[in-house]
């Protein structure tokens, strides 16, 4: 975990990694809302390469995703394709949230190995000293289609919380 008070060389490395992650996720080069309130978790492989990155920040509100009924689809592959292509909406009623995950990324060749889940578990244990965050206290920023599938699987529901990392308040 890299914190805002860590040495400059560590913060510089995190910034380089964030730029690469943003490019891979298709994000515009947007600065973090409030860098002094972020926590960055890096998943380092045995051969000393960064294969996972999670950037979280303190937030106050999230908005619940409104789950749409999935049509009768027989194959798992068709369900994934449908989930990736459908539009999605969220509630306009804010709900309290503590932690916003502005970015979560795993190197493409290392996905589906529980790396993202392990990073979130570490975050839940370490975001607030002496406290373990529930899944209900976490919101995801503007997830990609794969991110939405991950959040749905991790949270156990398609009605997880989202927020806009540019202002930390809403996704609207």
**What is the spatial distance between Cα 138 and Cα 59, in angstroms, rounded to a whole number?**
9
Residue 107 confidence (pLDDT) above 90:
yes
Q: 2 - beta bridge partners? A: 40
* The pLDDT of residue 36: 65
Return all residues near 17 (Cβ < 8 A) that are at least 6 apart. Answer: 40, 42, 50, 53
Closest CA to 142 of 81, 69, 79, 90: 90
> Is 2 a member of any domain?
no
> Is 46 a member of any domain?
yes
Q: Model confidence over 109-148: pLDDT tens digits?
A: 999 999 999 999 999 999 999 999 999 999 999 888 889 9
Q: What percent of the chain has pLDDT over 90?
A: 64
Taking residues 17-26, what's their average pLDDT? 89
> Is 1 a member of any domain?
no
Say what the pTM is: 0.82
> Is 12 a member of any domain?
yes
Bigger pLDDT: 74 vs 12: 12
> Is 22 a member of any domain?
yes
> Is 96 a member of any domain?
yes
Residue 38 confidence (pLDDT) above 60:
yes
Q: How many domains in the chain?
A: 1
The boundaries of the domain holding residue 23 are 8-163
Q: What percent of the chain has pLDDT over 70?
A: 83
* DSSP states along the chain: -B-TTS-HHHHHHHHHHHHHHHHHHT------S-GGGEEEEEEE-TTS-EEEEEEEEE-SEEEEEEPPPPP---SHHHHHHHHHHS--EEEEEEEE-SEEEEEEEE-GGGTTSSHHHHHHHHHHHHSSTT----GGGEEEES--HHHHHHHHHHHTSS--EEE-TTTSS---
Domain CATH number, residue 136: 3.40.630.30
> Is 108 a member of any domain?
yes
């Amino acid at each position: 975990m890299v914190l805002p008070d860590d040495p400059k060389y560590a913060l510089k490395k995190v910034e380089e990694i964030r730029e690469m992650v943003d490019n891979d996720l298709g994000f515009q080069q947007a600065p973090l809302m409030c860098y002094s309130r972020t926590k960055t978790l890096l998943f380092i492989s045995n051969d000393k390469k960064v294969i996972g990155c999670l950037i979280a920040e303190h937030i106050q509100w999230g908005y619940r995703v409104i789950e749409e009924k999935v049509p009768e689809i027989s194959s798992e592959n068709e369900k994934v394709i449908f989930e990736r292509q459908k539009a999605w909406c969220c509630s306009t009623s804010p709900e309290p949230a503590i932690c916003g995950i502005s970015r979560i990324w795993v190197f493409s060749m290392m996905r589906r190995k529980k790396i993202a889940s392990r990073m979130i578990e570490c975050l839940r244990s370490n975001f607030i000293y002496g406290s373990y965050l529930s899944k209900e206290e976490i919101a995801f920023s503007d997830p990609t289609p794969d991110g939405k599938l991950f959040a749905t699987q991790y949270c156990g529901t398609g009605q997880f919380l989202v927020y806009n990392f540019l202002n930390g308040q809403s996704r609207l």
